[in-house]
Amino acid sequence: MAISTNIAGGRAVTLDERTITQIEARNVARLWQFWFTLPIYPYNNRRTIRTEVTPDIIWTFDQVQGIFYVVVPIRMTVVKLVGGGLLVYAPVAPTGECLELMDELVRVHGDVLHIILPTISGLEHKVFVGPFARAFPQAQVWVSPDQWSFPVNLPLGWLGLPQGRTQILPQDSGKTPFGDEFDYAILETIDLGPGQFAEVAFFHRRSRTLLVTDTIVSIPIEPPPILQAELYPLLFHARNQASDLISDTPANRLQGWQRICLFAFYFQPNVLEIRSWSETFRKSLRAADRSRQGYFGLYPFQWRADWQQEFTELQNNGRLLVAPILQTLILNRAPTQTIAWVDRVSQWDFRQIIPCHFDGPITATPRDFRAAFDFLKSRNPVDASLSTIDHNLLQKIERQLVRWRIIVPAK
């Protein structure tokens, strides 16, 4: 028996029973059964791509996540220890596919010995640590200090972290079992009001690699491989109006990626106009894709003709970048302690950086890392190379949040 179906470009293809069985097995392997703990795209089906960064030493595991198809990579880094065994920095969803890729490394390089939760505020990182640790019961779990939860501050065991083998990272990395291979620097907890922010950067001496979570990113000019494997979000945002076909072409992949980046960093970029709900609904009646996947044809976006210039300024040849939301709403709450953390990290002689989002690895030096935070030393702590209008919008949001006492004022 054969079944006919459609792909993104609109071509009909025929699937035989063997192919259908393979697809079903693949979907089972990518099932993330606890998706409801953080109900964002891609919900319960998460593809994993493993990449060898440094031969026989460092591997990255990429998945995607986002809202309204504004999706970006989320990345876990695995490092082989000299004496055998593996250290995992910032786990991703431990699907069957992810665990099989991990088991391939374990069979060659030894058990997972250490799992690192390097943040206190990133729910998209926290939510995976407990389930990932349960898959490797011999591993010790190390978490950054001052963990918290909202609306009630719960003990670590209540947050799913394994009791008896979860420890807080000490200030001195030499007091850890992996201190002879790694240095780390803890960005002291930044009080935001009801919430807090902190991050732990790890430096792997042997490979001269810096691991960071959210503080620094680099935007690739092309869509990352994990998004090339998850095409629908790219093609959804490549359209100029609801009636456009969702068509897979290299130009559409690139255009969709550039627009996703503007959404991710600026929320509502200046070069984007939002149609009224009445007009959005009216145009949805003539949409090329009125499926549930296509939000029933609802597409409220209208991009200005010069929108790509704003992406060019943001991407800026892939230079290191502190995300505008961190510049405007978080790090400027504690510029002195952030600069002190940057100075400490900059003392390490790294040659590449692996962040948890966007591009990675990035060829970069301590000088490049320090320069990305220069905005904190100016009278108006905002990166001058980015869109002034879009920063003004974020600062307007900031003032409103301060007025409502949701966050504390900047320093």
Q: Which amino acid is at 13?
A: V
**Whole-angstrom distance, CA of residue 5 vs CA of residue 254:** 26
What pLDDT is stored for residue 228 in this prediction? Answer: 94
- Which DSSP string corresponds to 85-147? -EEEES-----HHHHHHHHHHHHHH--EEEEEE-BSS-HHHHHHHHHHHHH-TT-EEEE-SS-
CA separation, residue 111 to residues 52, 81, 84, 216 (Å):
18, 10, 8, 30
Residue from 89, 145, 140 nearest 117 by CA: 89
Residues of the chain falling short of pLDDT 70: 1-25, 122, 149-155, 158, 379-392, 402, 404-407, 410
Task: State the pLDDT at residue 2.
Answer: 46
CB under 8 Å to 357, separation ≥6 — which residues?
Answer: 72, 73, 74, 75, 214, 217
- Specify burial of residue 217 (Cβ count, 10 A radius: 0-12, 13-18, 19+): buried
Smallest CA-to-CA distance from 255 within 202, 311, 213 is with 311
| Residue 40: CB atoms within 10 Å | 14
| pLDDT value of residue 379 | 64
Distance CA 158, CA 126 (A): 13
CB–CB of 260/234 below 8 Å?
Answer: yes
Say what the pLDDT of residue 231 is.
93
Question: Which residues lie below 8 Å from residue 82, measured CB to CB, with a gap of 6+?
Answer: 180, 181, 206
Where on the phi/psi map is residue 276: left (φ > 0), alpha (ψ -120 to 50), or beta? beta
Nearest to 11 by CA among 245, 187, 192: 245
Decide: helix, strand or coil at residue 17. helix
CA distance 39 to 67: 9
What topology is assigned to 46-218+325-374 in CATH? Metallo-beta-lactamase; Chain A (3.60.15)
Instruction: Supply the pTM of this predicted model.
Output: 0.88
The pLDDT score that the predictor gives to residue 405 is 67
Q: Domain locations in the chain?
A: 46-218+325-374, 231-317
Return all residues near 81 (Cβ < 8 A) that are at least 6 apart. 87, 110, 113, 178, 181
Q: Look over the chain and give the mean of its residue pLDDT values, rounded to a whole number.
A: 87
C-beta of residue 88 within 8 angstroms of C-beta of residue 68: no
